[in-house]
Amino acid sequence: MSGWSTGYVSDVPYIRGFYRQQSPLHLDIACLLGNTVPVGAATAPTLSYLELGCGQGYGALALAASHPNWRITAVDLLPAHIADAREFAAEAGIGNAAFIEADLVTLTQDSLAAAIPEADVVSMHGLWAWVTEPVRAGIVRLLRAKLRPGGMVHISYNALPGWQGTLGMQRLLRESGLRLARRSDRQAAAGLEIVRALFATKAVNLVNDPFVKHVVERNISADYLSHEYMNVGWSPCFHADVAAALAEAKLDWVASAELFENFTELMLDAEQREIMNRFDEPGMRELVKDLCVKRGLRQDLFVRGARRLDPESRDRALRDMILLPSRTAESFDYAAIFPAGKADLEPSFYGPVTAALATGPKTVGDLLDLPDLPRRGNPAELIGMLVGTEQAVPAARLAGESDAASVRFNVATARRLLNPDRLTAVLALASSRHGATLPTQALELFVWERLRRDEPADPAAWADRLTSSEDVENRKKVLEYLGNVVSNRVPVWRSLHVL
């Protein structure tokens, strides 16, 4: 860390990734599920998008490449992050994204703020719970100054009470790491070894928390760990406290950007819902939900001046939303696991829907108007389940012309970010033809890159290249995964003209 970073990790870059909840198209759906007027990202002639704490800018670049008519502005404190983002943008020829190195504490008083247009959508992934109070206050000032009335704010953050069991682990990891190494990633790795050693002794305040178990048992990169756990300002938050802080910028909480969380029957059992329904105040309802559901990350959506929609207007807007398939109809997963239990997606309804979607992009209305569906009156359920289970992706257009920048972005992603040690990272393929950003795991991108080079589809040869011959079990898993990508993802990429 450096003095200018005010306690934020600055000597190690944050990992690159694409987070679908940051897409304005996805946020429009969430807003509608919250019965609130969205910004209308799909139909707006242009859109101003601002990301705070953008890291190396990968998500901002993916959106810019997918939507040439959008104006993307992304801000980060670390100059190395901004330098990398600008270099990537130049390589991909992306001209509608600007990257600003700035301190959020003072940005509203800085001349740099003049370069930030009034925003339709603002997104912050993870940032709020990783920074100190002065930075949070600076974020609120910036939102007050730059978010337009009716604009949306997405904020994901480590949430309480879900994270309460990890408070001791984080303190041990950080404090021991600070004493055992100098660079942040090495501190995180050293601290994790102490956590693992104490976990092995069955320390009662470590072994009983599933999040701690997840950290201890998984092979998590040290650069991710350093940003997640080594910041001075690390502080998980209750939803009500975040909502109170953002109310200073005239923001109203309207929905969760994790779409299925807007369906209480999927989150809580009947007895829990009865208790939640004793309250009208959203903050109290969310507190009950947070106490019943074990999850560490909230995906909150706020609007500056929320305008409520009646059910008919909401359903009309949902019917106009455009969806793309993310997998073939044959591989559609009819079983979904939610906090309240397992749900079976009815084949008599979702079978014809997914078969139709596999033939090309469709509006929700097109899908609900298919003949012989057993029911057709709930667009919220259809879009919530398809997009919420990541089996469909929202799009801005049924069809259009492909912009060369989206192709260059995809090629640059493969060239820059394919790393044998991080094949589970979630990256993206941009489709300016449809105005959509397709979440794509790095191992899937490996297949895309091989086929783009006109290699024959050979999962067995690829598995040999990616795994050790001595690790038979891992090779078997990788081979199966690659075969599934060839069967279930490649046909979709070809139909959408991203391959």
In DSSP notation, 263-330 reads: -HHHHS-HHHHHHHTT--SHHHHHHHHHHHS--SEEEEEEEET--B--HHHHHHHHHT-EEEESS-GG
Q: How many CB atoms lie within 10 A of CB 417?
A: 17
DSSP letter assigned to residue 102: -
Could you tell me the pTM of the whole model? Answer: 0.95
Q: Which residues contact 180 (CB under 8 A, 6 or more apart)?
A: 187, 190, 191, 194
Q: How many CB atoms lie within 10 A of CB 477?
A: 12
Using the Cα atoms of residue 467, residue 470, residue 471 and residue 477 in order, give the sign of their dihedral. positive
Q: How far apart are CA 275 and CA 260, in angstroms?
A: 20
Q: How far apart are CA 437 and CA 61, in angstroms?
A: 10
Q: How many CA atoms lie within 13 A of 368 on its CB side?
A: 20
Per-residue pLDDT of the chain (499 residues; tens, 9 = 90+): 556 667 788 888 888 999 999 999 999 999 999 999 999 999 999 999 999 999 999 999 999 999 999 999 999 999 999 999 999 999 999 999 999 999 999 999 999 999 899 999 999 999 999 999 999 999 999 999 999 999 999 999 999 999 998 999 999 999 999 999 889 999 999 999 999 999 999 999 999 999 999 999 988 888 889 999 998 999 999 999 999 999 999 999 999 999 999 999 999 999 999 999 999 999 999 999 999 998 899 999 999 999 999 999 999 999 999 999 999 999 999 999 999 999 899 999 999 999 999 999 999 999 999 998 888 789 999 999 999 999 999 999 999 888 899 999 999 999 999 887 788 899 999 999 999 999 999 999 999 999 999 999 999 999 999 988 788 888 999 999 999 999 999 999 999 999 9
Would you state the structure tokens that stand for residue 203, as one six-digit string? 């320390």
- How many secondary structure helices (H) and strands (E) does the chain include? 22, 15
Q: How many CB atoms lie within 10 A of CB 8?
A: 24
Chain CA centroid to CA 279, Å: 30
Q: Is residue 98 within 8 Å of residue 72, measured between CB atoms?
A: yes
pLDDT at 428: 98
Element (H, E) at 178: helix 167-180
Element (H, E) at 337: strand 335-338
Residues pairing with 431 in the sheet = 436
Q: State whether residue 35 is helix, strand or coil.
A: coil
Residues pairing with 437 in the sheet = 430
Q: What are the CA-CA distances from residue 214 to residues 199, 206, 221, 225, 234 (Å)?
A: 12, 11, 13, 12, 19
